[in-house]
Amino acid sequence: MSKKECKESSSERDSTNDHEKIRLKIDETKEISSKSSNRNEVSLKTIETPKQLLSNGYQYIELIDEGTYGKIFSARKLKTGSMVAIKQIDRMNSRIKSWLDNKCLDQEMKIMLSINHNNLIGALDVFKFRTIAFIVMPLVDGGNVKSLLLQRMKPFEEMQARRMFYDVVQGLDYLHRNHIVHRDIKLENILINENRLMLADFGFAKFLRNEMNNFEQNLPNDSAFCYSPCGTVEYTSPEVNWIRISYLREESKSINQRYDAKSADIYSLGVCLYEILHLFKAFIRPEEIFVLDIATKLNLIYPRQMQMKLTKNPQVILSTECSNLLWRLLRPDPTKRPRSDEILSDVWLTPILSIEQRKLEKLKAINTLIQEYLLLENQEYTEKMRADKFQSHSLNRSAENDKQIIKKQEKNNLE
């Protein structure tokens, strides 16, 4: 066997081994998820609705998810019987003290109440008490994209990924246009609602204006910058991860320890797109999935981000347009990444834009027909009213004439 053949054979074995490793890791993840689900099923029997929530007309049904920053329950609105999701935050939880002290809960509530978009999970209601808080949201029971990817255990086709990506970009563009940054974009925070995706979890989201409600004023030059590193290491941009590294090294803060939060959101979006197209994360290898130590993760991820050393899946072949967009999204230099509105006009999304344009044109045509129908109906009604009025007037005149004729006849008879 030649050296070249040996090398190719070795490469194939490595590829097979990589896929076997990721399959085993995914199986482990499913097993952990299954155990967690079983624990949840047991806990469902003893779920009690807090009195503060019950007094405001909601009752818990079951626990959906649980994390550091709160629990998510499905619930029923007692007045209407409609189903909702409720995020419960324990304000006495010492693990989230700094998050609470930084007014992140207040920001989350205000942002979720302010947003209104088909691809975003907003708030229907919020309740805040001394020891506990609740955010009432629409119930989306299709799971999240991460869970779906693990269930499939194979990447999404480019056509499917394009549609999914378009939904999330639409939601993110709405946020950025309204001077809001998400700062925790990852597959777990992208929910599936029937035929569309919705970006959720605004626990690290932030208004980029000092006057949050005054959208008419011009933004200061540095208003798009944030200082706190937020989000999940595997999905956050290199500039955010560099601030994390500086914190871990206990280096003092400097004027440069800040980042463009909109550009960081775009990077996270790119990591999400890469993952659904390749099955695994952009800068984490299959054997590194369960590395838990943050410092170790950063030492693995950050150099690869700066050198754009992506974890390859040899079975995936992408179009030139898709590869080019990924390359632009994952640029280490935040100033070179596209804005959300530029992504929406990218050539890779042209097929979706054409479909959306046709939908809009169809809706416009339907609306035109409805308007014409209503106008025609209104004209017919007006003409009918005029005809009825004329007929009524004619009848009145005829009756009056009849009366005059009768009077004349009576007068003639008397004479």
Quick check: is 6 in a domain?
Answer: no
| Same-domain pairing of 275 and 387 | no
Sequential DSSP letters for 303-329: HHHHHT-PPP-TT----HHHHHHHHHH
Question: Are both 235 and 375 inside the same structural domain?
Answer: no
Residues 368 and 339 in one domain: no
- Which of 98-107, 177-186, 338-347 has the lowest average pLDDT? 98-107
User: Does 204 lie in the same domain as 97?
Assistant: no
Residues 268 and 338 in one domain: yes
Check residues 395 and 54 and name the one with the higher pLDDT: 54
Same-domain pairing of 264 and 249: yes
- Whether 403 is in a domain gets the answer yes
Of 25-34, 319-328, 379-388, which has the strongest mean pLDDT? 319-328
Return the beta strands (E) in 247-294 as ranges.
259-260
196 and 125 both lie in a single domain: no
pLDDT-derived band at 48, boundaries 50, 70, 90: confident
Does the residue 280 lie in any domain? Answer: yes
The residues near 200 (Cβ < 8 Å, ≥ 6 apart) are 120, 121, 137, 140, 189, 190, 191
Q: What is the mean pLDDT of residues 288-303?
A: 92
Q: What is the pLDDT of residue 413?
A: 62
| 299 and 181 together in one domain | yes
Query: Residue 253: pLDDT above 70?
Result: no
Q: Residue 375: its pLDDT value, please? A: 75
For residue 148, tell me if it sits in a domain: yes
Residues 150 and 115 in one domain: no
**Three-class SS state of 180:** strand
Tell me the three state secondary structure of residue 250: coil
pLDDT of residue 330: 98
Query: Which of residues 355 and 267 earns the better pLDDT score?
Result: 267
Is residue 159 located within the same domain as residue 236? yes
Same domain, 370 and 265: no
Mean pLDDT, the chain, integer: 82
Q: For 346-403, how does the pLDDT look when each residue is reduced to its tens digit (9 = 90+)?
A: 999 988 876 666 566 566 667 766 776 677 777 766 776 776 666 666 666 666 666 6
Range of the domain at 412: 359-415
Alpha-carbon gap, residue 384 to 249, rounded angstroms? 84
With b for 16 or more beta-carbon neighbours within 10 A and e for fewer, the 265-292 pattern comes to bbbbbbbbbbbbbbbbbbbbbbebbebe
Q: What is the pLDDT of residues 90-116, one digit of tens each?
A: 999 999 998 988 899 999 999 999 999
Could you read off the pLDDT of 114-141 as tens digits, one per residue? 999 999 999 999 999 999 999 999 999 8
- Is there a single domain that holds both residue 121 and residue 224? no
Does residue 29 form part of some domain? no
Type of residue at 165:
F
Beta-sheet pairing, 83-90 with 70-77: antiparallel
Distance CA(322)–CA(304), nearest Å, equals: 21
pLDDT value of position 374: 75
Rounded CA Rg of the chain? 31
